[in-house]
Amino acid sequence: MALRDQLRTIVVDDMSTSRGLITQALEGFGLQQIETAVDGQSALQKIATWPVHLVISDMNMPGMNGLQLLHSLRTTPQTKGVGFLLITGKADREIIEYGKKLGMNNFVKKPFQPDQLRVAIEAIVGRL
């Protein structure tokens, strides 16, 4: 079975348009096991009952931003090894460096092309 058939991914973004674009790109890569969440807290709740291999998260969300979600994942034994891809419109050096300190695996700057997303994902999980 191919990696893309097994890879469980959650897309976390408070904007339905962004969630849709990312999900559409993932489906275009052949990924089949995709969940979505509107914020970090609901993502953590879904991950608790539906463990994932990869989290693709927006940076700016109400309540819990992408780096706070990353911190929560990395400090929980069950999720500390999950792949994490941050999507941000503001790829400031401070955000990226802080993300790397927290254990972020990769990032993509908005707006992005599907090919950029695929390359960023494959750098984390391997060839799709």
Least Cα distance to 55 among 93, 81, 20, 16 occurs for 81
Q: Is residue 67 part of a domain?
A: yes
pLDDT at 38: 97
Domain total of the chain: 1
| Cα–Cα distance measured from residue 87 to residue 105, given in angstroms and rounded to the nearest whole number | 12
Is 126 within the bounds of a domain?
no
Question: Judging by DSSP bridges, how do beta strands 83-88 and 54-58 pair with one another?
Answer: parallel
Whether residue 24 lies inside any domain: the answer is yes
Q: Exposed/middle/buried for 62, CB within 10 Å: 0-12, 13-18, 19+?
A: exposed
Residue 128 lies in a domain: no
Predicted pLDDT of residue 3: 85
User: According to the model, what pLDDT value does residue 2 have?
Assistant: 84
pLDDT of the chain along its 128 residues, tens only? 788 889 999 999 999 999 999 999 999 999 999 999 999 999 999 999 999 999 999 999 999 999 999 999 999 999 999 999 999 998 789 999 999 999 999 999 999 999 999 999 999 999 99
The domain spanning residue 101 has which CATH number? 3.40.50.2300
Full DSSP string of 9-70 = EEEE-S-HHHHHHHHHHHHHTT--EEEEESSHHHHHHHHHHS--SEEEEES--SSS-HHHHH
Note whether residue 41 is domain-resident: yes
Q: Is residue 127 part of a domain?
A: no
Containing domain of residue 39, as a range? 3-121
